[in-house]
Structure 1
Amino acid sequence: MAPPQPRPDIVTNALATMQKAAAVPPPPMPTSKDDINGTWRFLEWGVDRIMFSLKEGVDLRTYMSLYTSIHNFCTAQKAAGPTTNTLHSTHRGAHLLGEELYHRLNTYLKQHLAGVHAEMVKHSDEALLTYYIEQWNRYTTAGTYNHHLFRYLNRHWVKREMDEGKKDIFDIYTLHLVRWKEDMFGSTQNAVMDAVLRLVEKQRNGETIEQSKVKQVVDSFVALGIDESDSTKTNLDVYRQYFERPFITATGKYYEAESKAFLGENSVVDYMKKAERRLDEEKERVPLYLLAEIMQPLMKCCESALIAAHCQLMRDEFQILLDNDREEDMARMYKLLSRIAEGLDPLRTRFEAHVRRAGHLTVEKVAEAGDNLDPKAYVDALLEVHTQYSGLVQTAFTGESEFVRSLDNACREYVNRNKVCQKNSARSPELLAKHADNVLKRSTKATEEDDMEKMLNQVMTVFKYIEDKDVFQKFYSRTLAKRLVNGTSASGDAETSMISKLKDASGFEYTNKLQRMFQDMQTSKDLNSSYDEWCKDTFDADDRKEGVDAYYQILGTGFWPLQPANTPFVAPATIVKTYERFQNFYNSKHGGRKLTWLWHLCKGEIRANYAKMNKVPYTFQVSTYQMAILLLFNDSDTVTYDDIASSTMLAKETLDPSLGIMLKAKVIIASPEGAASQSGTTYSLNYGFKNKKLKVNLNVAIKAEQKQEAEDTHKTIEEDRKMLMQSAIVRIMKSRKTMKHAVLVGETIQQIKNRFSPKVADIKKCIDILIEKEYLERLEGDDLGYLA
């Protein structure tokens, strides 16, 4: 729609003034102060010089004449009329004359802008912008000069009018802006804005433009934001309505069309690269020639057109990127979708499902080993998936907390409910504890401290996802006990570091007993030193030689997860004499305590003087049971199975494997040859025994015992869980007194879920047990009550 045309007579007058302003000689300065017409003719000539001939301008003498004529006119006394109050009449006269001068300037500006508008409509596109900017700069500069010229009018008449609350009176510079806004802006802003938008579109299409033109248009729109309620203040209303809104609307339409066309011919990955580039361009455009306030709405518009409108296509592509490990493209997709509300939720869901599938598939490969599954292989399989995708979360998804949560949820799922755990839900924590035992055991290969710490951190990574932490605790405490008792720990520092990590993860109570084990080991060390001193003071050298060199470990029953032996045992006389001596010493220091000897955990070394390597006797590392068997050969070259059984009193389940190990190592020979360990078999020493090592280890774990130990551990875990659930129920009911059955079950789960995941059926059984024990009672309906 074409802007309205100004009146022809005003246009003609304005154009003529523009052409002749510089050539017209100045009229004479008015001689009478109250001559409004003469005064205005003189002032109009000066304003013309300012408006049209800024380069020539006016000299100082002329400027002072113009200023003086304004001052004289505004202070003329004649216009005040007869009155007795001189002061009042002066004020009133100045008021009236100032008003006349103000309105004549206002009319002049209207006529001037009518001429400018008539010339502007002849231009279009960039030529229109060039003309608009040229005239705006000329007009506002002239407005600044005129503002100074009419300074006396501003200070007195204009100020008084504004103080009295007149809404249509402005200082002279603001009057120039108001006139432009009303006489020019309303009819040209659409054409100017269209030209600006076409110019910006050219830049978006890759052409080079004069950015300063857009910047100057923006500045003009900002300058026209005059607060109508207070002319001394400005706002951004004009800019927002006539520049920002059309600019953002045009931007949205441009990118909607471009993105649709681009996707029709290119891949989603290529589109993401383009969208990323476009967003960066728009962000860079703002400081170049736009107002900073436009940044947020502009980016929101671009994000809507470039991302939100096509987010489903990007989300559908995400699975392909995951399957092909295209980390860079996933990072790009994350950055784009993170810009829109709830843009990442579907990605997190798909990521979690993908990690869960990857975890299950990786575990299935190692699960084929069945009961012979290597703990290290199992833990490595769990870590492989976690390491891969935790790295992806950190790099592609910037470690965002919600993606970390999705990863944790997926890892928790495949760690606790994989193929290995189908028959036994406690399999994961059991295998993890065995792996930790292997890591912390002394091995033939020297382990660097950094490598050890790295492996312990890996154990803790899996531990974080284990739900049945009580199972891990039981198995870990048993393996720790064995390492401490047998002295097979690779490093004391590594052991304490691991306990410290477990304490940080699960609290003091979780590791209390583990720490007490270490205290007992130190106490035992001090006790053995005291025992050696006691022996020196009590016995002479010959008496001390009669015993066996021994080291004793005093382990507190309440802290060590050690069970008594499953077999009776009669120790050899030499060992009996030795341990009785220590027992006398211990009783003298700690009256009232009872020592229970754990023969199945004892071990020793025995020298085989009958078999030598280069004249050096072999040394056998044996269990106490094996030592008792071999000592029988000191009294006889051959010993029968029945003699061994009656002398040691060992149960067949323990005796047979002990003999089997020595037969396999060819330390003893069975007669008849190849006979099984049974009644009637005779055993003799192998005087031709040979081995590559001088120290031969015969103290090998018996598989049957290991299996039995694992079963006993699981039974202990079940009993402990029942007690834990019952204590939690009593604790809750003691504080609440009465509760609904379902609410009690829910709170019990909340209290103990950090130790293991209880089943609702098990909690209900515990509630029934507590009712039978009269800790709880059933009330009306579904309520339960606490019995003090």
Structure 2
Amino acid sequence: MPPIAMSMSGMPSQPIRDDIDNTWQYLQGGITRIMTNLQDGIDLGTYMGIYTAVHNFCTSQKAVGFTPSSNISSGSHRGAHLLGEDLYKKLTEYLTNHLTELVTESKAHTDEALLAFYIREWHRYTIAAKYIHHLFRYLNRHWVKREMDEGKKSIYDVYTLHLVRWRDVLFKLVSEKVMQAVLKLVERQRNGETIEYNQIKQVVESFVSLGLDEGDSTKTTLDVYRYHFEKPYLDATKIFYQNESKQFVADNSVVEYMKKAETRLDEEEERVKIYLHPDIGIPLKKCCNLVLIAEHSNILRDEFQVLLDNDREEDMARMYSLLSRIADGLDPLRAKFEAHVRKAGLAAVAKVASDADKLEPKIYVDALLEIHTQYQGLVKRAFNDEPEFTRSLDNACREFVNRNEVCKSGSNKSPELLAKYTDILLRKSGSGVEEAELEKTLTQIMTVFKYIEDKDVFQKFYSRMLARRLVHSNSSSDDAETSMISKLKEACGFEYTNKLQRMFQDMQISKDLNTGFKEHVQAAGIKGLDSSYSILGTGFWPLTAPGTNFNPPEEILADCERFSRFYRNKHEGRKLTWLWQLCKGEVKANYIKNAKMPYTFQVSIYQMAILLLFNEKDKNTYDEIVSTTQLNSEALDPSLGILVKAKVLNLGPGSDKVGPGAFFALNYEFKNKKFRVNLNVGMKSETKQEEVETNKTIEEDRKLLLQSAIVRIMKARKRMKHQQLVSETINQIRQRFVPKVGDIKKCIEILLDKEYLERLDDDDLGYLA
């Protein structure tokens, strides 16, 4: 070994011999100084002396086992190997002895004093380890690396060696007591005391640092931390909260317990953030959820109905938050919530449904919306808008919207009333609401519509009412009408609203046609009526030809014929069917005595024909009116009845009611507060008849819809089991209405008779092209 060129404090002036004992004796003094008195500092000379001694020792050529005949390079390699191993063993032995002394010292400490001792010694030991690691860098770089490359186990770099010795000598003997001291400190904090949590944090860091991978010394694991810290911490936590929660539940209400549990859960999460390792976060949460929530979940769920009944929204939110932490914790709550909402909805409808036939649509729809709005708000605020609670709300609403006190009188009642309420909103002066408010209300209408199962019923009633609004120019706003159709289209698709949109197109085409007709009349110099015509496509409008013959007044007939000729010239081959029951107009009453100005009567075409008869004479008999107008009694009697009721006509002496044998006279003394008097008002009997007709067409349309669906399915599948066909038909149709199995079977029989289908073996049905 070559002599050291420098003269350094504390280093022998004689060259260091290659004898390991002499070398170690020199190194040990420096290592001990670093290990025990580093706070006093170490001079550069001593530091460099130790570093150089390690280097010289590892590179010495005078190694045990070296012979002159040996290859120099191989001798050098072998010598360095042996000397490095001796040095490594000496250092390991030194650390073992040092740590054994610390174990003895630790026995004099308990609880917080033990923690302070452990942390202090760990801090000192690991800092010293970094210095010593640097001093033995040459050993690390050559001998240790070579040993590790050759796959030698239990060989570590010098710093890791320090950690391994700490773990195997001191930690093994004192870790349990240290952990007990930690747990006592945590329990004191849980009981409300203020603690020095930095001690726990440093203990955690120590335990984590000791996680060394035995298979690969360059890697670390959390095994030591998990076994010696995490496991006992979780066990202690479980015992603590089991005892506390059991006692707290016995002495306090469920709501107070929830508050307590919430506080405890927050505290544990805060501990993870402040002084625990993040790895414990998930298992600690599971442990706390099990002890504080799952083990008391039954009493929490039992309390839920009480909270619902008393609208305790904040407490329900707290319960939701707690039970959402455990598996399937919320399922019983959702079931109770659904039953509660259904019951509330049925009660709300029963409250307003004393007479289903006289029930105001607005009152009914408002009752449905009130319940939905109330519990939708609860889902949003208390249940975090959770999809599963929303589904429970939807299920409950679907039940009480389609199967309630009002629907007992007919399953179509909900969609019918909803359509009528929509009609009230969209009619002129029907609702008196502002445009923004109207849009909001239409959105609410769609909320109820979403739950309606018989959407085809709504469509039928809505289209009839829309037709009347359009024909009579009675819509409050084109924008509102368009908005509603857009909403329906978004909910049910293009096919659902196709006819509704075509009705609007017909009205626009009619406007252009009327403009052309007026220009044509003016150009011809004809002085006609101030008339307007609507051309309505037969396939798109839910309107039927009048159920009576009718002979219109000459003036009306002449104008209609002029328009017919004009229309046929533009559209050759088309046939016009006059819907007299929908026609209306205005007549001026110039005959009334003492009137400041002539009254204007707004009348139906039938009423107009009746009144014009009185231009010729003041009195007409019932039979004369029938003979001239050709109206049957179903159309004539209501029209006359309104004129009599309004006192435009007086029943003659001896006539007690409208009908054969009666006669009528003009009332020259007619008076009214308004100078424009609307006599074109529908009778309740007409409305009732229209409802019956609508429901009848619904049933007929459903049969056709079911048959077309069955044919469509069979055309695609060619062959199906009877039961499969029924199920598939229900799936395809349920967006429009919920079909009855019996109706589907009847439709299958009809299609068998019509030879669209045939019976095959094994209850199979086949498609006949």
TM-score, scaled to structure 1: 0.94
Greater Cα shift, 385-394 or 31-40: 31-40
Indicate the residue corresponding to 2:67 in structure 1. Answer: 82
Equivalent pair of 1:27/1:45 in contact (CA under 8 Å): no
Partners of 2:288 and 2:350 in 1: how far apart?
46
Equivalent pair of 2:349/2:406 in contact (CA under 8 Å): yes
Equivalent pair of 1:612/1:618 in contact (CA under 8 Å): no
Partner deviation per Cα, 1:682-707 (whole Å, 9 max, x = no partner): 21111111110000111110222211
Equivalent pair of 2:650/2:665 in contact (CA under 8 Å): yes
Indicate the residue corresponding to 1:703 in structure 2. Answer: 684
Partner deviation per Cα, 1:651-689 (whole Å, 9 max, x = no partner): 122222211111111111111166211233221111111
Picking from 330, 337, 347, the partner of 2:323 is: 337
Equivalent pair of 1:393/1:404 in contact (CA under 8 Å): yes
Indicate the residue corresponding to 1:124 in structure 2. Answer: 110
Indicate the residue corresponding to 2:277 in structure 1. Answer: 291
Picking from 577, 596, 600, the partner of 1:619 is: 600
Partners of 2:411 and 2:19 in 1: how far apart?
108
Indicate the residue corresponding to 2:21 in structure 1. Answer: 37
Equivalent pair of 1:725/1:763 in contact (CA under 8 Å): yes
Equivalent pair of 1:33/1:69 in contact (CA under 8 Å): no
Partners of 2:11 and 2:519 in 1: how far apart?
130
Partners of 1:159 and 1:779 in 2: how far apart?
83
**What's the offset of the Cα at 1:27?**
8.2
Indicate the residue corresponding to 1:9 in structure 2. Answer: none
Confirm whether residue 311 of structure 1 aligns to residue 297 of structure 2: yes
Partner deviation per Cα, 1:617-636 (whole Å, 9 max, x = no partner): 00111111111111111111
Indicate the residue corresponding to 1:370 in structure 2. Answer: 356
Change (3 A) 1:86 1:679: closer
**What's the offset of the Cα at 1:69?**
2.3
Indicate the residue corresponding to 2:4 in structure 1. Answer: none
Confirm whether residue 633 of structure 1 aligns to residue 614 of structure 2: yes
Partners of 2:400 and 2:13 in 1: how far apart?
99
Greater Cα shift, 701-710 or 443-452: 443-452
Equivalent pair of 2:35/2:124 in contact (CA under 8 Å): yes
* Partner SS state of residue 251, structure 2: coil
**What's the offset of the Cα at 1:28?**
4.6
* Partner SS state of residue 307, structure 1: helix
Equivalent pair of 1:602/1:624 in contact (CA under 8 Å): yes
Equivalent pair of 2:722/2:765 in contact (CA under 8 Å): yes
**What's the offset of the Cα at 1:615?**
3.1
Q: Which blocks of at least 5 consecutive residues in structure 2 are unaligned? A: 1-8
Picking from 380, 398, 413, the partner of 1:394 is: 380
Equivalent pair of 1:393/1:399 in contact (CA under 8 Å): yes
Confirm whether residue 382 of structure 1 aligns to residue 363 of structure 2: no
Indicate the residue corresponding to 1:480 in structure 2. Answer: 466
Picking from 125, 132, 136, the partner of 1:150 is: 136
Partner deviation per Cα, 1:455-477 (whole Å, 9 max, x = no partner): 11111111100000100000000
Equivalent pair of 1:327/1:392 in contact (CA under 8 Å): yes
Greater Cα shift, 576-585 or 119-128: 576-585
Indicate the residue corresponding to 1:459 in structure 2. Answer: 445
Partners of 2:454 and 2:33 in 1: how far apart?
93
Partners of 2:431 and 2:310 in 1: how far apart?
38
Partner deviation per Cα, 1:92-115 (whole Å, 9 max, x = no partner): 222222222221111111111111
Partners of 2:362 and 2:499 in 1: how far apart?
26
AA matched with 1:390? Q
Picking from 715, 718, 743, the partner of 1:737 is: 718
Equivalent pair of 2:489/2:497 in contact (CA under 8 Å): yes
Indicate the residue corresponding to 1:135 in structure 2. Answer: 121
Equivalent pair of 1:225/1:235 in contact (CA under 8 Å): yes
Greater Cα shift, 619-628 or 164-173: 164-173
Partners of 2:240 and 2:14 in 1: how far apart?
61
The correspondence of residues 227-626 of structure 1 with structure 2, limited to 5 A, is 227-443=213-429, 446-538=432-524, 540=525, 543-544=526-527, 547-611=528-592, 615-626=596-607
Change (3 A) 1:445 1:468: closer
Partners of 1:763 and 1:624 in 2: how far apart?
44
Equivalent pair of 2:506/2:537 in contact (CA under 8 Å): yes
Greater Cα shift, 105-114 or 504-513: 105-114
**What's the offset of the Cα at 1:643?**
1.1
Greater Cα shift, 526-535 or 28-37: 28-37
Greater Cα shift, 438-447 or 303-312: 438-447
Give the aligned length.
759
Partner deviation per Cα, 1:421-449 (whole Å, 9 max, x = no partner): 11310111111111100010010764311
Equivalent pair of 2:709/2:732 in contact (CA under 8 Å): yes
* Partner SS state of residue 489, structure 1: coil
**What's the offset of the Cα at 1:614?**
5.1
**What's the offset of the Cα at 1:613?**
6.5
Q: Percent identity?
A: 64
Equivalent pair of 1:528/1:551 in contact (CA under 8 Å): yes
Q: CA RMSD in A?
A: 1.5
Partners of 1:119 and 1:587 in 2: how far apart?
118
Picking from 185, 190, 193, the partner of 1:207 is: 193
Partners of 1:749 and 1:643 in 2: how far apart?
56
**What's the offset of the Cα at 1:29?**
6.2
Indicate the residue corresponding to 2:41 in structure 1. Answer: 57
Greater Cα shift, 667-676 or 690-699: 667-676
Partners of 2:640 and 2:363 in 1: how far apart?
33
Partner deviation per Cα, 1:325-347 (whole Å, 9 max, x = no partner): 11111111111111111111111
Equivalent pair of 2:587/2:602 in contact (CA under 8 Å): yes
Confirm whether residue 71 of structure 1 aligns to residue 55 of structure 2: yes
AA matched with 1:49? R
AA matched with 1:690? K
* Partner SS state of residue 785, structure 1: strand
AA matched with 1:741? H
**What's the offset of the Cα at 1:584?**
1.5
Equivalent pair of 1:642/1:679 in contact (CA under 8 Å): yes
Partner deviation per Cα, 1:556-588 (whole Å, 9 max, x = no partner): 111110111122211111211121111121122
Partners of 2:663 and 2:581 in 1: how far apart?
25
* Partner SS state of residue 620, structure 2: strand
Indicate the residue corresponding to 1:749 in structure 2. Answer: 730
Equivalent pair of 1:26/1:45 in contact (CA under 8 Å): no
AA matched with 2:49? S
**What's the offset of the Cα at 1:307?**
1.0
**What's the offset of the Cα at 1:30?**
6.0
Partners of 1:346 and 1:387 in 2: how far apart?
23
Partners of 1:524 and 1:198 in 2: how far apart?
90
AA matched with 2:165? R
Partners of 1:574 and 1:160 in 2: how far apart?
120
* Partner SS state of residue 774, structure 1: coil
Indicate the residue corresponding to 1:102 in structure 2. Answer: 88
Indicate the residue corresponding to 2:659 in structure 1. Answer: 678
Equivalent pair of 2:424/2:431 in contact (CA under 8 Å): no
AA matched with 1:505? A
Greater Cα shift, 745-754 or 153-162: 153-162
Indicate the residue corresponding to 2:5 in structure 1. Answer: none
* Partner SS state of residue 58, structure 1: coil
Partners of 1:114 and 1:30 in 2: how far apart?
34
